Amino acid sequence: MDKNTIVRSKKKIDVTILNGEKVILDFATGNYYVIKGVGNIILDMLESEISVNEIIERLLTEYDVSRSECEQSVIEFLEKLEEAEFI
C-alpha cells in the first residue's frame, strides 16, 4: 500500500460505538476490533473512496504531528484493516 492507493471500507463491516470508541465486528470470524483515537476519524473517512494521501493530508491539518510519523501510522493502520479484509 502506498500514498496513491484508493481505499474504502467494505460494506460487510458492522461498526458499533461502545463507550465513545468504534468497534468493528467481523461476523465471519467472530472477532471484534476496538478502534481508538484517530483510528475513529480514519474509519469515518473510509465510508467513501479516498486516497491514502488525502487521509494523511486531512490529518496533518487537524493534528500537530510530523508528516513522516503521520504517513507511517496511517499506512500501518490501513494495512491492518486490509489484512482483516475490512478495506
- DSSP output for 49-64: -EEHHHHHHHHHHHS-
The verdict on residue 1 lying in a domain is no
The verdict on residue 74 lying in a domain is yes
Q: Please report the pLDDT score of residue 34 as a whole number.
A: 92
Instruction: In whole angstroms, give the CA distance from residue 81 to residue 43.
Output: 10
Query: What average pLDDT does range 23-29 have in this prediction?
Result: 85
Q: Please report the pLDDT score of residue 81 as a whole number.
A: 93
Q: Percent of the chain at pLDDT above 70? A: 98
Closest CA to 44 of 22, 61, 63, 12: 22
The verdict on residue 71 lying in a domain is yes
* pLDDT tens column, 30-53: 888 999 889 999 999 999 999 999
Find the CATH number of the domain harbouring 20. 1.10.10
Residue 26 φ/ψ, nearest 5 degrees: -110, 100
pLDDT band at 19 (very low <50, low <70, confident <90, very high): confident
Long-range contacts of 57-64 (CB under 8 A, 24+ apart): 63/38
The verdict on residue 45 lying in a domain is yes
